[in-house]
Structure 1
Amino acid sequence: MGINGQLAIPEYQRPYCWQDQQLAQLLTDIREQKLLCKELSPSLPYYLGSLILHQEGDKLNIIDGQQRITTLVLIASLLQQGQNFPLVHSLEFKHPISQQQIKHNLKWLQSYFSEQQEYWLSLLDFTKLQFTLVITQTEDDAYRFFETQNTGGVRLGGPDIIKAHHLRAVASLHQKAFAKQWEALGKLDDTVNALLKGRYWQQINMRGLPSHQQQKQLRDTIVSELAQQTGNGADIAFGRAYRQLGLAGEISQHLAQQGYELRQPLNAGVNSIRYLSYFRSLYHQYWENPDLPHLPDFKAFITWLKGLEGCGYLEGLYKACLLQYISQFGENQLETAAKKLFRVVYSRRVSNQKAVRENSIYAFIRETPVLDWVALSYTPEQCFHYLDSFSLQVEGSNLDSNSVKRRFIGTVCDFFKMPLAPEDYKPHFAQALTQKVAGSLK
């Protein structure tokens, strides 16, 4: 059965992004395989993995393999092997990131081949390249193959896969515009990790999350929560509203915020893209780069908080709590909320004997459902009541040495202007911090 069609790169594909390391690895693989073939049988082809294509009319959309194919096109062009690799004259690259990377890689490859072009001309025979070819008739089948691939080069991450899922759900007329919007979001990993914590760590349906070291499991979790479990439908944003009743019975309605709820159900396509765009914007504005001249105290607090030592896992939970609060209440009493959330979330730094391990955060959130305290509150004051009810305890070991715990308490005392000597940390730190955070309401 013949295969007919023009190869094309769909809008929902990520741009061409291979860099020097991946180029060198591909050339090394080709050279080693060619030398092995020479020893066994000169006629053996050399195998370069699988390609996944989606047949769409007279087009064959590249679902997996764009990075390798593009690199081979560049090599064939430089080695003047276009007659043996017709793709040199057929593929188009419209994305500006792809175009920029192609320019860089052409220079790198030109330099690489400059002193050994004859060697590579004799070594590389494009008529002997071999791939496993998978061609699907539906985008759904192509996507299922795509999300399970782990080919060489830059491994697909969760955000890359959910991008493909949601852009293919957008009407073709608007795919390019939403693809540009997605690319403008930049690196989504930290935002997505915060969203996963907010969506998974809830008492009504508490679920554990894979460790940051379990890359495949974490990727599968992202795909499941933010792609496979999304529905079909319009762009719907849920949010808190309240009705004010007048003495004559008249009703006025008010919206607490204009964005999306962190834990809301999502639909594939535009809904999920805008949801991620909204939270990426919140993450950048209130955590990554809090340039907020109208909230100088909040900016100063967040800047200080990001510099704390030995608190990486706690910071992950804190960011989820902060996004949950802002998505519900906006900037309403935000500085107060930030400090009250700190007292609860960072309590693990002083209630543990030594280190704060990743798995201890999940145990803490099961006992202290701080995300639920925020999510289930109708007003900031109700949320503060829950946060203030938390009892902060200081575990007394490792306070008489130069430990991370002792340095942490000293840093907190300096920031909140609590003049405590090290011998007073155990009996007085918890009470002093609680009073300082309560005083931020005034």
Structure 2
Amino acid sequence: MSKINAEIKKVSSVLEGHMTIPNYQRPYRWTEENVRLLLEDITQSWKEGKNSYRIGSVILNNHDSQLNIVDGQQRITTILLILKSLESTIGSELRNSLQYRHSDSLNAIIRNKRFIDSWLRENIENSKSSFGKYILDYCEFVEIRVADLSEAFQMFDSQNGRGKELEAYNLLKAYHIRAMENNTFEEKVTCDITWEGAARYQVDKESSDVSNLLRQLINEQLYRTRLWSRKETAHAFDKKYIKEFKGITVNKNHPIEFPYQNRELMQYVVQNYFKSIGVSVHGIKSRFRNISPENINPFALVNQNIVNGKDFFDYTETYVEIYKRLFNSEFEEMKNFKKFVQDNCKYVGSHRDGDQYLFELYKSLIILMFDKFGEEGIEKYSKILYLLVYRLRLEKEQVRYTSVAEYPVQNEIFKIIENAKSYADLLPLEKMANKEVICKKNVGSIIRYFIQQNIKLESADEKKVNLKDYSFA
């Protein structure tokens, strides 16, 4: 364990440091709301005459005589913008030396500087000097300096934002970077860049909401699929369950413990050998018909045993790319399937919580089917899987999270797909999909589709669901 120095410092002292923003850092993305909350917190502390206000932590990594900012870029940048608006000369040298490589950062800086100017005019106009002095001399950071990058990431997983603990999925990054003890600094940085890129990726390009593909994928399509495939009820992913994505560490310092781990050892050795000599394995079956993206590992499986370190990052990168190509319209692959999803999963009312639970279940089934049988499997079974999932929407007046979490365990749909070795093994899915549906909920687009597929429908209450309103032709 290398030395870690932690010290509480005034803002004025922290800003004297010669800090840099490393290439692997995410953009500066604080919103006006983030800035407003910080300004209000500091202002309240200042007006109450408190002797100190703790802004948060700054984690710095000593590398090549530079202090790289691992965590704290958002807060430091915002404080620098506030001080500039207050016309303080403190921090000007650091402000001029920091390089923001992302266009998103520059746009956010311009937007937030404009907001800060306006906010200060409205709230601090006649007390700028006093307010600026309070920030410099009474506001504090916990400055943590770490020589080893993996330890810097380990420190990073403790706090984020305004003291809010990081989400479960992000704790995995620090854990698996720590397992990369035999990898180079550049490999660790590359894994971090890829991870953060996925965390910034907007899941639904048609929505203006900022989203997070990595969180979506790990919390839903990976974690819950792994449990459902074992016939276990899959509730929400949180810190209690991160062990699901902790596996074995394969290197000279961590020999395997049990015979069942031999398979992971063999896969690790073979893959790394072929990578080292620059040779690909011929005859591999791609999941997509006409493409074989480099960042999709053909050996990865949703339900594979986890190998810690870089293999875990390859695993998540594979399914991030698969998710994009299956569900995002910007990619050319699987156009017919994407049209089917748009036509049948984006109906009036599909934004309701229960309907969203069903959509996540459907996507998880699609990814598992794609995992096993590729593009052809989706063409053959996407409609059958739809019938299996969306019958729940018709059978229940309210679709609750618990009922969706338990449904795949009751009928073993994931286990059937996971154990299948040919399409013949999937016949039980077709039989279940064709069963009669007793309708308690009137969702017209779903009812019409079931009728088109010749599924027998009965109404539980004709006052609520009158099937005579629909054409059976």
Structure 2-normalised TM-score?
0.69
% of aligned pairs identical?
23
CA offset at residue 133 of structure 1?
3.8
Describe the SS at the equivalent of 1:82. coil
- Specify the alignment match of 2:385 in structure 1: 341
Q: Are the equivalent residues in 2 in contact too, given 1:13–1:164 (CA < 8 A)?
A: no
The one of 370, 394, 412 aligned to 2:449: 412
Describe the SS at the equivalent of 2:303. coil
Alignment of 1:264-343 (within 5 A): 264-289=304-329, 296=336, 298-308=337-347, 309=350, 310-343=354-387
The one of 25, 30, 37 aligned to 1:18: 30
Matches of 2:314 and 2:331, distance apart in 1: 23
* Residues 31-90 of structure 1: per-residue CA shift (max 9 Å, x gap): 1100001xx6xxx23332333444557444434322111111222233232336764355
Tell whether 2:86 aligns with 1:79: yes
Tell whether 2:173 aligns with 1:129: no
Q: Are the equivalent residues in 1 in contact too, given 2:60–2:144 (CA < 8 A)?
A: yes
Gapped runs of 5+ residues in structure 1?
Answer: 211-217, 240-251, 430-442
Q: Are the equivalent residues in 1 in contact too, given 2:388–2:432 (CA < 8 A)?
A: yes
| Aligned amino acid, residue 122 of structure 1 | S
- Specify the alignment match of 1:45 in structure 2: 52
Describe the SS at the equivalent of 2:142. strand
CA offset at residue 344 of structure 1?
2.3
Q: Are the equivalent residues in 1 in contact too, given 2:368–2:418 (CA < 8 A)?
A: yes
Q: Are the equivalent residues in 2 in contact too, given 1:82–1:88 (CA < 8 A)?
A: no
Count of matched residue pairs: 392
Tell whether 2:106 aligns with 1:106: no
| Aligned amino acid, residue 186 of structure 2 | L
Gapped runs of 5+ residues in structure 2?
Answer: 8-13, 202-211, 252-264, 272-281, 288-296, 468-473
Tell whether 2:156 aligns with 1:146: yes
The one of 26, 35, 39 aligned to 2:47: 35
Distance change in 2, residues 1:396/1:285 (3 Å): same
Tell whether 2:432 aligns with 1:390: yes
The one of 355, 367, 373 aligned to 2:416: 373
Tell whether 2:235 aligns with 1:209: yes
Describe the SS at the equivalent of 1:130. strand
Describe the SS at the equivalent of 2:56. strand
Distance change in 2, residues 1:142/1:370 (3 Å): same
Distance change in 2, residues 1:420/1:229 (3 Å): closer
| Aligned amino acid, residue 36 of structure 1 | E
Matches of 1:55 and 1:222, distance apart in 2: 33
CA offset at residue 307 of structure 1?
1.7
CA offset at residue 342 of structure 1?
1.9
- Specify the alignment match of 1:173 in structure 2: 186
CA offset at residue 408 of structure 1?
6.1
Tell whether 2:216 aligns with 1:190: yes
Q: Are the equivalent residues in 2 in contact too, given 1:50–1:132 (CA < 8 A)?
A: yes
Q: Are the equivalent residues in 2 in contact too, given 1:166–1:270 (CA < 8 A)?
A: yes
Tell whether 2:281 aligns with 1:255: no
Distance change in 2, residues 1:21/1:255 (3 Å): same
Structure 1-normalised TM-score?
0.73
- Specify the alignment match of 1:200 in structure 2: 227
Matches of 1:158 and 1:292, distance apart in 2: 32
Matches of 1:60 and 1:161, distance apart in 2: 23
CA offset at residue 132 of structure 1?
3.3
Deviates more, 1:72-81 or 1:162-171: 162-171
Describe the SS at the equivalent of 2:140. strand
RMSD (CA atoms): 4.0
CA offset at residue 254 of structure 1?
5.8
Q: Are the equivalent residues in 1 in contact too, given 2:369–2:377 (CA < 8 A)?
A: no
Distance change in 2, residues 1:393/1:88 (3 Å): same
| Aligned amino acid, residue 107 of structure 2 | Q
Distance change in 2, residues 1:178/1:306 (3 Å): same
Q: Are the equivalent residues in 2 in contact too, given 1:332–1:380 (CA < 8 A)?
A: no
Matches of 1:173 and 1:391, distance apart in 2: 49
Q: Are the equivalent residues in 1 in contact too, given 2:249–2:309 (CA < 8 A)?
A: no
Q: Are the equivalent residues in 1 in contact too, given 2:55–2:140 (CA < 8 A)?
A: yes
CA offset at residue 355 of structure 1?
1.5
Alignment of 1:58-73 (within 5 A): 58-73=65-80
Q: Are the equivalent residues in 1 in contact too, given 2:394–2:437 (CA < 8 A)?
A: yes
Matches of 1:111 and 1:407, distance apart in 2: 50
Q: Are the equivalent residues in 1 in contact too, given 2:60–2:68 (CA < 8 A)?
A: yes
Matches of 1:368 and 1:420, distance apart in 2: 20
* Residues 254-305 of structure 1: per-residue CA shift (max 9 Å, x gap): 6364632111234455433333232222222222328658753x34322223
